[in-house]
Every structure is written in structure tokens, then in C-alpha cells.
A and B are shown apart, each in its own frame.
Chain A
Amino acid sequence: MPTRSSSRPEDLLSSPDVLDTIIVAETPEGILLELRPAGLTARLYAFILDWIVRLAIIYAAAMLASFVGGLGIAFWILLLFALEWLYPVVFELLPSGSTPGKVAFGLKVVMDDGLPVTPAAALTRNVLRAADFLPFLYGFGVASMLSRRDSKRLGDIAAATLVVHHVPAAARIAPLDVPPVVPAKLLAPEDQAAVIALAARAPRLTPERLDELAALAAAVSGDAGGTGPQVTRRVLGVAQWFLGRRA
């Protein structure tokens, strides 16, 4: 999960071997925000859910309108218009930045620089749906999303918006009940981070897999070539030491 082997995300991105689709937006303060664009599948699910929500509203309103008559029908047509064009615009401008369907699938719409979507962008990206929809069933939109790393449809390209995944917080490293172990060799910060990341993952791995992984790093505790629960405890102990725990 959220392991970082490099301190600079832009280095990672420029490397052709990396399959990640993370997009890095730089703030005026010079820090880099990582955005994780949502792919076709996640967005399709969200779209279908939104579509069902809208359909349900329209059917419910139609039943009410048929009781009320004249003005009810006028209201119903206006509602139809609002659901067609304004539903996504209004929801995307709320602080959550997402329609109910997107909320359900952990997606939100942001600008390319990671800021909340502006009213102009929300309007244009949704009006340009009309172009994405062509020639049929969002053909151009889907083609655009599949051919781009950032999965933008045409409306997103023009409005400079991005649909991103909401990323859950990384788990805090639980203080394992292993005593800190003084490392047997000096490690570069990146390698220290890798050992610490192993400790962070430890609670989620099966003991066997943890032993296998720890065996790879056994050199740090001076147990090169060794394997088994004892070695694993010593490697995790080194991770505690790197974190800053001292006996």
C-alpha cells in the first residue's frame, strides 16, 4: 500500500517502468500534491448509480405530478431539465465535490491543480457531456478515458478537471511489542524507509509471508541468510530502531 521508495514522486512518474497513474500537482509553496485519477470502471459505477438515483426521482415526481395536474407537470419538466443538466453541476460544487454516485464510490471532481472545481469548470465539463455522449453511449468519452493516463473524458480535458479517488489515510505504525535492535549496517534513508514500511505492513501479512519478506532484509540485523520468526523479530526490531525507538 502506501509505501514510498523514493522521496520525489516526480522521479517515480518519469520512470517508464511505473504503472501508477498518480498525477502530481505543484502548489505555489512548492510542495507536490498527489492526485489519483479514477479509471473508467469506477466512474462507470458512479455514473450508473447516479442514473438510478435520477430515474427514481423522476418516477416519484411523475407520480406526484399526475395527481397535481397542470402546475405539477410544469414542475416535472423543470425537474427533468434540472436532473439532466444541473444535477452534476450542483453536486460537484458542494464541498464534497461529488454527486451521490461518486460519493458512494469514493470519487470526487477537482481541478487539475487539486483545488475544488470552479463553477465555470463544473458547468462546462457537464455541458460538454453532449460531445462525450456521441456517437452513442458516451463513445467519445469512453475512448478518451481509455486512451489517457489520467482517464479524462473530453469535458474534463476542456474544463481542466480531474476525477480522483479519495485516498484513505495510511495506517499508523502500531508499536509492535518487539524490542528495538541496533542495525548491523548503515542504510540510506530510502532503504530505512523500506524496512519501516515492512513493519507497517506486518499486522496485515500472514506470519509465513512476513518471514519470507523479512528474510530478504535479514542483512540489516546481521542475520543475512537466516530465516524464521526469530530473524523476523530482529528485522522488525531494526525497523523500531529506525523509527526512533531506543531500548
Chain B
Amino acid sequence: MTPLAFEELYENEWAELETLLELLAGGRFGAPAPGEPESAARAAALYRRACEQLALARARAYPAYIVDRLERVTATAHRLIYHRREIDFARLRRFVAAAFPAAVRKHAAYVAVAAAVFLVPTIALGLAVYRSPELILSIVGPETVSGFEQMYSPTAASIGRTRDASTDWVMFAYYIRNNIGVAFQCFAGGLFAGIGSLFFLAYNGAFGGAVAGYLTARGLSSTFFPFVSTHSAFELTAIVLSGAAGLRIGRALFAPRDRTRVQALIEATRDAAVLLYGVSAMLVVAAAIEAFWSSAGWLPPSVKFGVAAACWTAVLCYFALQGTHAD
């Protein structure tokens, strides 16, 4: 069969498929167009035929424009047919109700290592700086130290002052940008065989511990701990989880087992993405609490500690228990 005869024979099918694909692609974000199921079935049938015709056209070395047209139309159809629509409400609900806590439990070993790497420097530096406060200068500069002291000074009334609403919003935005940046760093560091994640976890742990130890030694614990106790339930766990996600990809590179290194990395990244979604959501919650609740100085510390205990319990129970019956 000559190229022109081939083209003439199938021209109608190709034109129909092209029209159908345009129609289907157009209705992707709205409600399904009337008659969409039928046209989708028709398009799928035509797509399979076009695949055969493409194979024929290639095998017979038909001119480029014919092969090209078939490639184009099959590629478009392939995209439409196999495209996964991942974002919808049911999926989101399933994510919160089951997928996220299940992913955390599945990576329990990584979470444990990440938590240890984060907490050991926190406690060690906390104790060391509490005993000899001048050690803090080896971690942060003097301006930062005096900044922290001012922030948590009960006399300066900065924390006790009822801030106006817009300041709360500014801090909310600042916390989101800052904390999600830190979490993403902890994750991305995993690409260097996990060493980057370990470093950022330990660094952030050491920093937090040193600040806590210093402020306690300076007698400011009565403003510091009520402030950090509630949002830390979300913030610290999120940082640890992002570090765990980083360790997951680090481990895949370091010890890929029966996969090639790249294949192991791709699988690990797909797993880690679930953790990353959850981490981002937790950090938004943490930023909201930090900006609007933790800073509310008129609340007595006992109330804040009570809420903090409830949040910590809720977060830990969520990861330990949520969705276990579905496993």
C-alpha cells in the first residue's frame, strides 16, 4: 500500500480521534461533558487502532508527516487515557484518615532514627548550655542571643502584650515560610546518602536545645515553655518526619538492595512524597498555632500546658493508632 492510499484509508478515523481527544481534553477540569463516557470509549477504541496503524506506518517507513501525525495523536490519547487524577476530596480524606499515619508507621524505623538524631543533640546541648550559658555563643551570635532574650523577657511584655491581629498574620506567614523551608531542607538533604538529613536534623535539634537551655538558665523558662509547648507538637514532629523522609531516600541510595540505585531512589521518593504532603500540612497547623495561640500572653501558662499536653497526645495517638483497623 502506498503512503497516500494508507492515508486516504484511515484519514476519517484519525480526524475523528483528533476531534474526540480535543473534546475530552477540554472537559478535564469541569463536569463530564454530556456523552463523555461514550466518546471516551470510542476514543479508546480508535486509539488502539491508531497504535496498530502507527506500528504499520513505522514498519513500512511511511513519510515522516504520516508517522508524525500518528505519533502525535497516539501520544495525546495515551496522556489522556493513562492520566491519573490524584487530587480529589475522597483521596484527601483517605490521606488524612489512613494514608499519612500508615506511611509514618511503615517508616517507623526511619522516624525513630530521625527522632534520635534530632533529640539527642537537643537534650545534650540543652543540658550543656543550661550548666554553662556562655556555650550558646558557640552556636549562635551574640545579637541572636540578645534577640531571644528580648523575645521571651516577661518585663518587655512583648510576649505578654496583646498584639494586634495583623502582627499575628505576619508571624503566621513568617513561620510557614521559615519552617517549611527547614523541613524541605531536611528532606532534600537525603539525596546525599542521608547525610544532609542527619546534619540538618542534628543542627536544628542542637539549636533548639541550646536556646531552651540558655533561656532556662537565664530564668526565662516561665515565658519560653508555655510559648513553645503547644505548636512544637506539630512543628517538631513534622521536622522529624521530613528528616525521616530524607533518610528513606538516603537509605535507598546507600543500600538499594535488589534494585538499581536509580530505581530504588525513585521508589523511595514516591514513598517519601506521602510524608512530605503530611509534613507540609502539619507545619501550616503549627504556624497557625504559633502565631495565634502560643503568642497569646493573656492565657495563663496552666491553660497552655493543658492544651499542649492534649496536642502532643493527639498527635502521637494519631500516628500510632489512626487507621490501624484499615491496615
What is A's interface to B at a CB cutoff of 8 Å?
A: 1-4, 7-8, 27-31, 33-34, 69-71, 73-78, 80-81, 84-85, 95, 114-116, 118-121, 123-124, 127-131, 154, 157-160, 169-173, 189-190, 192-193, 196-197, 200, 242-245
Contacts and interface: CB of A to CB of B under 8 A. Distances in A.
17 contacts: A7-B59, A29-B74, A70-B169, A70-B170, A78-B173, A78-B176, A84-B177, A123-B277, A127-B184, A128-B188, A154-B191, A160-B269, A170-B69, A189-B59, A190-B61, A243-B4, A245-B4
A158 B249 contact: yes
A120 B173 CA distance: 24
B189 A4 contact: no
A3 B64 contact: yes
B164 interface: yes
B23 interface: no
A7 B63 CA distance: 11
A158 B191 contact: yes
Interface residues on B, range: 35 or more
Given A121-B273, A244-B5, 4 more contacts: A34-B71, A74-B166, A74-B169, A78-B173
B-side interface mostly: helix
A197 B63 contact: yes
Given A124-B272, A169-B69, A80 B166 contact: no
Interface string B82-95: 11101100000000
Contacts of A33: 71, 74-75, 78
Nearest to A192: B61
- Which 8 A/B pairs are nearest by Cβ-Cβ distance? A70-B166, A244-B2, A244-B4, A130-B188, A74-B169, A77-B173, A120-B273, A193-B61
B60 A7 contact: yes
Contacts of A31: 51, 54-55, 74
B17 to A, nearest CB: 14
Contacts of B51: 27, 29-31
A193 B62 contact: yes
B269 to A, nearest CB: 4
Contact of B79 (A69, A75, A115): A115
